[in-house]
A and B are shown apart, each in its own frame.
Chain A
Amino acid sequence: DAKTTQPPSMDCAEGRAANLPCNHSTISGNEYVYWYRQIHSQGPQYIIHGLKNNETNEMASLIITEDRKSSTLILPHATLRDTAVYYCIVRPRGGSARQLTFGSGTQLTVLP
């Protein structure tokens, strides 16, 4: 699986957009980008995933660059409850092994 690089920590003011970057320069054509978050020892929560087009759901938007070497997760109006570790994961589309490989993630702290 392609490796990802994320900043270890970021702060964001409450009510502002949180933009979390992820570098995945070795991604291959059949690999998806997934974002998860983990709020203090709870189970990881799925946020969004995409292949090459930008995606949006009720939680966030995912912007993937045209060359697919990086992406940005956008939380449009961050709240205190969005404070969590955010994981960017690259996962192949095919194959029998379907597990996710978690890195260190980005600790996002939303400040009041």
Chain B
Amino acid sequence: DSGVTQTPKHLITATGQRVTLRCSPRSGDLSVYWYQQSLDQGLQFLIQYYNGEERAKGNILERFSAQQFPDLHSELNLSSLELGDSALYFCASSPWEGQLASPLHFGNGTRLTVT
């Protein structure tokens, strides 16, 4: 158990809809990262938050957004969903930035299916 909790485990929705994925980081971790893994793309970095602020952006679509709340949990919002958004979405967390070599620890993901 990595200590990173993601809900829900599975999500099935229709094209055009909007969903919210939730992530609770490990206790004490200030950074949260979101990744997408689809069958043909591998693990793709989407976005990172540190202590409530956006720190880095990867290949995140404009239809997607994220935020990190004061209690450090994070939500990834996906809107105007398309079939191609079907994927596994992983959240990871790491400690404060002073521990620069600290590894990321990943949750077990949310499987999103868009029909």
Task: Report whether over half of chain A's contact residues are helix, strand or loop; otherwise say mixed.
Answer: loop
The stretch among A4-12, A21-29, A42-50 that forms the contact with chain B is A42-50
Q: Which of A32, A43, A49, A96 has the most CB of B within 10 A?
A: A43
**Interface size grouping (class) on chain B:** 20 to 34
- Answer yes or no: A77 CB below 8 A from chain B CBs: no
Residues from 11 to 68 in B contacting A, C-beta threshold 8 Å: 31, 33, 35, 42-43, 45, 48, 50, 55-56, 58
**Of B48, B88, B107, the contact of A41 (CB 8 Å cutoff):** B88
Q: Is the interface of B mostly helix, strand, loop or mixed?
A: strand
Q: Which of B43, B88, B94, B101 has the most CB atoms of chain A within a 10 A radius of its CB?
A: B43
Docked-complex contact A43 and B2, CB < 8 angstroms: yes
Interchain CB contact under 8 A, A98 and B109 = no
Complex Cα distance A105/B43, Å?
11
In the bound assembly, the distance between CA atoms of A93 and B31 in angstroms comes to 15
A104 in the interface (beta carbon within 8 A): yes
Q: Mark A10-42, 1 if CB is under 8 A from B, else 0.
A: 000000000000000000000010100010011
Interface bin, chain A: 20 to 34
Separation of A41 and B43 alpha carbons in the complex (Å): 11
Q: Contact residues of B with A, CB < 8 Å?
A: 2, 4, 31, 33, 35, 42-43, 45, 48, 50, 55-56, 58, 88, 90, 92, 94, 97, 100-101, 103-109, 111
